[in-house]
Structure formats: structure tokens, C-alpha cells
Structure 1
Amino acid sequence: MRVAIFDFDGTLYAEETFKLLMTHLKEHPIYNTKFNRFYRSIVPPYIANKLKLYPSSKMKERSMQLYLNAFEGLSKSEMDTYFDELTEMMQSDFNDEVISRLEKHRQENVHILLVSGAYTQFLQRVTEGLSFNKIIGTDIPYLHNKVDLQTSIRHINGIRKTELILQALEGKQIDWENSYAYGDSYSDLPVLELVGNPVAVKPEDKLRLLAKERDWEII
């Protein structure tokens, strides 16, 4: 079985998800009152990260945890509605070339995974109309169908992406040499190196240099 693994931010989606989520909260007619408190709470880890006192991976995880504070007590269906409001806008910024590759792999019966640090529920809503065999993201914890702030999220990034990909494919015979992976960041390297056909999508400089050195395809 061949697989095709797609990153989301900067790959399938041309922009950065968390910036859009921040704007959505700030301008939302119902939840905008929660924005100032959220924004104040992320300033300390953001500054610490810029001063190289706090790792980027921890800052991202902390920011996503703090973001959920605005939705304490909301049900899963209410969160679906909140994320649905972003679908049309986000899909207008999907990378057409990457969408074409995804559809080509689908027609060839390739097993397709979407892997991202974004909230899994968010990914499921904003990719409506696209077909994936598996979406791997950061799960929002719920307790009795309400957003549970007492349970910490487990942000999916770096080596965790690779671990969860292998876990999702456990027991399957994978033809890695003839499989594909798409990513835009140097942090996607562990996933790109899993396959025989890595594709760098509008890559950041460090990944672009490496892709050229290794003669990888660049979109």
C-alpha cells in the first residue's frame, strides 16, 4: 500500500492557521469578549520564545491550550459551528496544485493522511469536501460533551507527527519507497524522509536548500 502524507499550514493551506483563529476570536460576535484575556495570556510565552528562553514547540502548545479557555463549557457541536464559520474563507486559500495532487492520489487509490498540529476538529470541518483516510491533529479534550480545560492538550508537532503516522499505519504493509509526503517547513523533515517521493511546497529557505541538495521535487 502506498501512502500520501499532507501537511496543512503552508502546504494544503497557504496561510497560518493560528493567526486566522486569533482574528476569528477577536472579531467574533459572540466570543470576542474573550479575546483580550487570551491575548494577554499568550504575551509572556511569546516574549520568552523570542528571547530563546522558551522552546517554540512549548510556546505553540501553550498558545493552543490558552486559546481553548475562551470556549470553556461549549459542546462539541458548538465548536463545530465555530470552526465551520471559517471553512469557506480558508478553502479559498487552499493551494490548487496541492489539491490536484491530493485528487490524483485519491484516484490512484493511495492511502491519504492529513497531519498537522492544528486542532483535529478544526481540520475535519475546514477540509469538508476533501477526502482523507485519516486526519491526525491536536485533539480538543471533552468531558460530558463539554470542552474540558482540566485536561491538557497534546500538541502534535515534530517527532510526534512521525510517531502518530506510524501508529496509524501499524499492521499495514507500506510501500514507503513509492509513497509521497508534502511539507513546507524544515520541521517537516522527519515526515518527508519517511517516503521515497518527498515534495517541498513553497518551502522555507532551509528546506528549499535541502530539497535542492537532495533533488527533491519543489512546488
Structure 2
Amino acid sequence: MKVAIFDFDGTLFPNETFPLLMNHLKTHPRFHQKYRPFMTRLIPIYLAYKCKLCPEKTMKEYSMRHYLHSFTSSPETEMEKFFYELGDTMSENLSESVLQRLEEHRRDGYYIMLVSGAFEPLLHSVTKNVAFDKIIGTSVPPLHKKDKQLSIDPIQGVRKREVVMNQFINMEVDWANSYSYGDSYSDLDVLELVGNPVAVKPDSRLSEVARNRKWEII
């Protein structure tokens, strides 16, 4: 079996997801009042990250966890509707060149995966018209009113590689002839899994790696 693994932010979707999530919260008719408390919690750790006092992984995990706190007093169906509304808009702006590659791989019989740190309900909403064999994103834990500390495990960095490998336990994968698409240096762990890594509008660190190793760049 050959696989084709796609990142989401900056790859299948040309932009970053979290700023859109923040704006959706800010302007949402039901949840807009949750925006200010969220920002109050976010700003100190974001400033610490910018001052190199906090690792990016910690900052992202903290941000996602407190974003979900906006929904702890609401029915799960309301949160699902919230993600669906944003995903419906985002689905109109997927990268045509990456979608073309995805369809080429599908015609050639590849197992198609989407692996991203974005919230999984949002990924399903955005890609409702795109045929994936497997979508793996950051799971949303059960949200309860009395929960003070939500447990969240963002799918980023080496964690992406772990979830990909777990997907194929006891299965024979032709990694040498498989593909992986990513835009960021943080995607390196997954890009290095395959014989055909592709850097999509890469950031400066990934661009340097891709040029030195003669990887394809689109």
C-alpha cells in the first residue's frame, strides 16, 4: 500500500486556521461574549512565546485548550454548528494545486490521509467535499461545565508522525513510493517518513531543508 499524507494549515488550506477561529468567535452572534475572556487568558502566554520564554508547542496547546473553554456551558451540538459554519466558508478556499495532487494520488490508488493540528470537527467540515480515507486532527475532549482543566493533545511535530505510524500498525506500507505534503519545518517528521516529500509554499527553515535535499517544492 502506498500513502499520500497531507497537512492542512498552509498546505491544503493556504492560510492559518487559528486566526480564523479567533475572528469567528469574536463575530459570532451567540459566542462573541466569550472572545474577551479568551483573549485575556491568551495574551500573557502569547507574549511569553514572542519573548522566547515559552515553547511554541506549549503556547499552541494552551491557546487551543482555552479556546474550547468558550463552549463548556453550551450543548455539544452548538459547538459542532459553530465549527460547521466556519468550515463551510473555509471549504471554498482550498488550494487548487494541492487538490489536484490529491486527486492524482487517488486515481493512482493511494491511501489518502489528512493529518493536522487543527480541531478534528473543523477538518471534517472543511473537507466534506474532499474524499479522504482518514482524517486525523486534534480531538475535542468532552466539554463539561465543571471541568477546570480540559485535557487536549494537539497533533503537531513528532506527534504527527506517531499518529501516522499508529494508523498502519501491522500493515505493509511502501514508504519509499509514498508522498507527504507540508509547508512548515514542524512537518519535517512526517515528510521524512516517505520517499517523496513535497514542500508546499514552505517556511524559510523547511525551504532550506527542501533545497539542500532536493525535495520537490510547489
The structural deviation recorded for 1:88 is: 3.4
Whole-angstrom CA distance in 2 between matches of 1:30 and 1:214: 49
Structure 2 contact 72–143 (Cα < 8 Å) conserved: no
Question: Is 1:192 equivalent to 2:191 in the alignment?
Answer: yes
SS at match of 1:188: helix
Whole-angstrom CA distance in 1 between matches of 2:95 and 2:122: 18
The structural deviation recorded for 1:84 is: 1.3
Whole-angstrom CA distance in 2 between matches of 1:33 and 1:43: 17
Partner in structure 2 of residue 35 of structure 1: 35
Whole-angstrom CA distance in 2 between matches of 1:88 and 1:141: 22
Structure 1 contact 8–114 (Cα < 8 Å) conserved: yes
Partner in structure 1 of residue 160 of structure 2: 161
1:213 partner amino acid:
N
Taking only the aligned residue pairs, the percentage that are identical comes to 51
1:185 partner amino acid:
S
Q: How much is the aligned-residue C-alpha RMSD, in angstroms? A: 1.6
Gaps of 5+ in 2: none
Question: Is 1:204 equivalent to 2:198 in the alignment?
Answer: no
The structural deviation recorded for 1:21 is: 0.1
Count of aligned pairs between the two proteins: 218
Whole-angstrom CA distance in 1 between matches of 2:93 and 2:167: 28
1:61 partner amino acid:
E
Gaps of 5+ in 1: none
TM-score (norm 2): 0.95
Partner in structure 1 of residue 106 of structure 2: 106
TM-score (norm 1): 0.95
Whole-angstrom CA distance in 1 between matches of 2:63 and 2:26: 15
Whole-angstrom CA distance in 1 between matches of 2:164 and 2:210: 22
Partner in structure 2 of residue 20 of structure 1: 20
Question: Is 1:137 equivalent to 2:132 in the alignment?
Answer: no
More displaced, 95-104 or 76-85?
Answer: 76-85
Partner in structure 2 of residue 47 of structure 1: 47
Partner in structure 1 of residue 95 of structure 2: 95
The structural deviation recorded for 1:55 is: 0.4
1:186 partner amino acid:
Y
Structure 1 contact 74–147 (Cα < 8 Å) conserved: no
Quick one: structure 1 residues 193 and 141, their matched pair in 2 at CA, closer, same or farther if it must change by over 3 Å?
Answer: same
Structure 1 contact 8–115 (Cα < 8 Å) conserved: yes
1:211 partner amino acid:
A
Structure 1 contact 83–126 (Cα < 8 Å) conserved: no
The structural deviation recorded for 1:69 is: 0.9
Whole-angstrom CA distance in 1 between matches of 2:166 and 2:83: 27
1:191 partner amino acid:
V
Can you list the C-alpha shifts for 1:26-83, whole angstroms capped at 9, x where unaligned?
0001100110000110011101111111100000000000001110133333222111
